[in-house]
């Protein structure tokens, strides 16, 4: 009888832990992304949409904020930031390489910190 109770307790704890790790299918995030113009907007949004699990990506030219809706079961915010940096645009947590930044069109080159 003790074994049955112990096994039930272990099973309950295991299921409780698994339930806490559930990730949001419609997580909303805002990320600051450096850029200047409509070409930047298209490039940033295209890079974000290329990441599996991104449902919505809209970059505002005036505020430099990329609004995202992600399926966190398929991707993480950091993956999107890496994709955006790969096309030459810095985010708060991920900086584009000098080579990627240098490949931007002249009007897209923003002041880097």
pLDDT in tens, 24-48: 999 999 999 999 999 999 999 999 9
CATH 3.30.70.100 fits 23-108, yes or no: yes
Given this model, what pLDDT does residue 4 score?
Answer: 65
> What does the pLDDT read at residue 22?
73
User: Which residues of the chain have a pLDDT value below 70?
Assistant: 2, 4-21
The neighbouring-strand residues paired with 54 are 70
Domain residue ranges of the chain, discontinuous segments joined by +: 23-108
Closest C-alpha among 83, 113, 93, 89 to residue 102: 89
Count of CB atoms situated within 10 Å of the CB of 82: 16
Strand, coil or helix: 94: coil
How many DSSP H helices and E strands does the chain contain? 4, 3
Q: Which residue has the tokens 């699990």?
A: 53
């Amino acid at each position: 009888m003790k074994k049955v109770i112990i096994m039930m307790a272990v099973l309950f704890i295991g299921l409780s832990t698994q339930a806490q790790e559930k990730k949001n299918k419609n997580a909303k995030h805002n990320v600051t992304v450096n850029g200047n113009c409509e070409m930047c907007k298209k490039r940033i949004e295209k890079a974000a949409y290329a990441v599996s699990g991104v449902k919505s990506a809209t970059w505002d030219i005036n505020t430099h904020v990329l609004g995202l809706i992600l399926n966190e079961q398929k991707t993480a915010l950091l993956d999107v930031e890496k994709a955006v940096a790969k096309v030459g645009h810095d985010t708060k947590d991920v900086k584009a390489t000098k080579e990627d930044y240098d490949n931007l069109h002249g009007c897209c080159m923003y002041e880097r910190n």
